A and B are shown apart, each in its own frame.
Chain A
Amino acid sequence: MRRDLALVAAFALAIAALTWVLDSGVWLNFVMMTLYAALLAQAWNLLGGYGGQFSFGHALFFGCGAYVQAVAQLQGGLDAWFALALAVVVAAAVGLFVGALTFRYGLKGSYFALVTLAFAEVFRILAVSVEFTGGGVGLMLPLRESAANLQFGSRKGYIALVLGFVVAALLVTTWLRHSRFGAQLQAVRDNEDAARAVGVDPMRTKLGAITLSAAFMGAAGAFYLQVFQYIDPGIAFGPHVSVEALVGAIVGGMGTLWGPLLGAAVLHLLADLTRNLFGQLPGLNMVIYGVVLVLIVMFLPRGLAGMGRSLRELWKRRDG
């Protein structure tokens, strides 16, 4: 526990120092987007990695966060920071609601994945159809640059904000790894019946996990809106965000503290590199990205964070 906390602190300081010295806009943007992707992956990891519930529709919570952030400021006239708190709370509440519905009926595995995907799609269509979300046109946040409005003149302000969320997610994950709730959650993931037999309430643990996970997705959604000042139903509830969240966690290593962060960083680096190197041949960058993804999933079932162990096992199997 102490070791994990010390590493989290070291990580936060390192990123802060890096941001302090960087002044290339490209690199600051890279750091910001990587941290943002890490936040998505970490949020997914809380439920998918530690709880074993594979959601395919995490954009649902992301979109709720983004829209609450927008609507609360535009129509509710709320202060941006207060809107942020509300966005997180509403996303968490939506998580609790979806969890209560799906876990109550014992939905697991691919059924859970499909139902979460369906929920995200329903919300996407709702966002197109109703008035206060601006319909298909989406919502635009007027430019009012000041820290009080959560709009920063430099990327550094946004990096500070998203770094705060990432560190919070790391701390929650650390707590999961060293607490009763986390132990029970992992027990339910590994074997639900055995967990029930020794007194674990699977409903309660899964609801806790989906609520936490949704809260961080909501924060990511609100952050997205503040950075890009625009949201529409496709961005908010479309499959892109859901996929980014789960791929980051799976590539990095599910159920690990640092995996999602690692996965997000490597994938972002890879995407940027291939785009820059092969940009003149449209599509080739995506092919390479896809091939690397397949290789990682095939040969590193524990993700990048469990790379050492996976490679040792591969080696042993070849010898044996």
Chain B
Amino acid sequence: MAETPLLALRGLSIAFGGLRAVQDVSLDVRAGTLSALIGPNGAGKTTLFALMSGFLKPDAGQVLFDGQDITGRAPHLNARAGMTRTFQIVQPFAAQTVRENIAVGAHLHEPRRAAALAQAEQVAQQVGLAAQLDKPAGDLTVAGRKRLELARALATRPRLLLLDEVLAGLNPQEIAEMIPVVRRIAEGGVTVLMIEHVMQAVMNLAEHVWVLAQGQLIASGTPAEVTADERVIEAYLGHGAAARLQAANA
């Protein structure tokens, strides 16, 4: 008997009007892994995240968390059970300080205010925000906001962290700084599934990669395997691209 995957999707589908955003997606995320979901723009990655975390209800299929059916369960209940997502478009509580922002996450398991604020400080150190604890969140740079997004989610002490493009919009140096942060989180025992466009990060971090194109899973494997896959290359570069690349390399 194989171990129960921490997160399992079974035949998940959703359509918006005539647009079939996610079609029959099934995948297993094993506990303790760091994996990635990639795919061209509009492939349905963020929609898939919304389906997993309960922000959207699927038309068909199931989401199992730790073996339990949580399909369509409200996001706050999923967060309580240990699954927290971040947003691609960062969503800080702009009027509040960085410390207060992170404390909202810490409050999930910590009713006392002082303790939650203290935990916020620890988490801020983990993601490199310690120097900016008392700044209003609205004053942070893009890189700072991405870190805040990560910190707030991390403060909920998740078992599964769904990271939606935490590296998008960062410059190469900021990306290089952020990669070890994500790696340390995974090494700390948190299972991480990330949506990422920055291939440098995917190649560096992920043990396993799923590729989504036009709402369907088209490939899955190690980063090296999927980047060599013809279907993946065609999904990114267009029909016939794989053959042309081979011809060029030959």
List residues of chain A with CB under 8 Å of any chain B CB: 178-180, 183-184, 186-187, 190-191, 193-202, 255
Query: In the complex, which residue of chain B has the Cβ closest to the Cβ of A201?
Result: B76
B107 within 8 A of A: yes
A197, B104: Cβ atoms closer than 8 Å:
no
B96, A194: Cβ atoms closer than 8 Å:
no
B91, A198: Cβ atoms closer than 8 Å:
no
A195 to B108, CA, bound (A): 10
Task: Tell me the number of A-to-B contacts counted with CB atoms below 8 Å.
Answer: 81
B156, A199: Cβ atoms closer than 8 Å:
yes
A196, B111: Cβ atoms closer than 8 Å:
no
B156, A186: Cβ atoms closer than 8 Å:
no
Segment with Cβ contacts to A, from B77-85, B186-194, B210-218, B233-241: B77-85
B39 within 8 A of A: no
Instruction: List the A side residues contacting B110 at CB < 8 Å.
Output: 180
B104, A195: Cβ atoms closer than 8 Å:
yes
Chain A interface helix/strand/loop/mixed: helix
Instruction: List the A side residues contacting B95 at CB < 8 Å.
Output: 186, 190, 255
A307 to B79, CA, bound (A): 38
B113, A200: Cβ atoms closer than 8 Å:
no
Q: Which of A183, A194, A199 sits near B91, CB closer than 8 Å? A: A194
Count of chain B residues with a beta carbon within 8 Å of a chain A beta carbon: 32
B199 within 8 A of A: no
| Known A197-B85, A197-B86; contact A180-B111, beta-carbon cutoff 8 A | yes
Instruction: List the B side residues contacting A186 at CB < 8 Å.
Output: 93, 95-96, 100
Most buried by B among A180, A187, A197, A255: A197
A194 to B38, CA, bound (A): 23
Q: Which of A184, A198, A201 sits near B156, CB closer than 8 Å? A: A198
A198, B84: Cβ atoms closer than 8 Å:
yes
Residue pairs across A and B with Cβ atoms less than 8 A apart, 26 shown, are: A180-B116, A183-B100, A184-B107, A186-B100, A190-B93, A190-B94, A191-B92, A191-B93, A193-B91, A194-B91, A194-B92, A194-B93, A196-B55, A196-B75, A196-B79, A197-B53, A197-B75, A197-B87, A197-B91, A198-B84, A198-B152, A198-B155, A198-B156, A199-B76, A199-B80, A201-B76
